[in-house]
Amino acid sequence: MMDISEILEHLPHRYPFLLVDRVLSIEPGKSIHAYKNVTVNEPFFVGHFPHYPVMPGVLIMEALAQAAGILSFKTLGEKPTPGNVFYFAGIDDARFKKPVLPGDQLHLHVEIERQMRGVWKYKAEARVDGQLAAEARLMCAKREL
C-alpha cells in the first residue's frame, strides 16, 4: 500500500492534476490497484457539465496512466526526476461504459503487458463499485530529458 506522500515521490504530477489518491496494492513488474476519490470540488466539474457533473473520459485515462507511471517507476526501482519522466504515448481500444460522478471512488487497475527499449504497454481498467467504467490499452515512453 502507498499513501499520498509516497505517491508524490513516484509521480511528478501535483494538484490540480494529481489523479491518484492511494495505492491499495502493487506488484512491481506486474500490476497495480489504486484509486481516485472523485469529489464535486474537482475544477473540471465547473464546466463538464454544470447541471450533470461527469468526470471527463480523458481524465479517467490520465488517472490510469498515472497509476501505470507509479507501477513503472516502482518496477524500475526509480523515482521521477526533472530529467527522467514517463510520457503518455498512446491509447488503444478505449471504451467508456459508465459515467463517473462526484462521490464515486474510481478504482484503477493496471497490468504491464510488455516493455521494450523504454516503451511500456499496459492493460487498464477503471471501475466504480465493481462495475467497469472505462478500459483501454495504454502506452507510455520513458524519456531522459
**What are the pLDDT digits (tens) for 100-143?**
999 999 999 999 999 999 999 999 999 999 999 999 999 999 98
- One-letter amino acid for residue 36 of the chain: K
- List the catalytic residues: 48
Distance CA 6, CA 44 (A): 25
pLDDT for res 84:
86
* Domains contained in the chain, number: 1
The CATH number of whichever domain residue 106 belongs to comes to: 3.10.129.10
pLDDT for res 143:
87
**What are the pLDDT digits (tens) for 13-71?**
999 999 999 999 999 999 999 999 999 999 999 999 989 999 999 999 999 999 999 99
pLDDT for res 85:
85
pLDDT for res 144:
82
Full domain range(s) for residue 13: 4-144
Mention every residue, 6+ apart, whose C-beta is less than 8 A from residue 46: none
**What are the pLDDT digits (tens) for 74-91?**
999 999 988 888 899 999
Mention every residue, 6+ apart, whose C-beta is less than 8 A from residue 110: 31, 32, 34, 64, 67, 68, 71, 122, 123, 124, 125, 138
pLDDT for res 16:
93
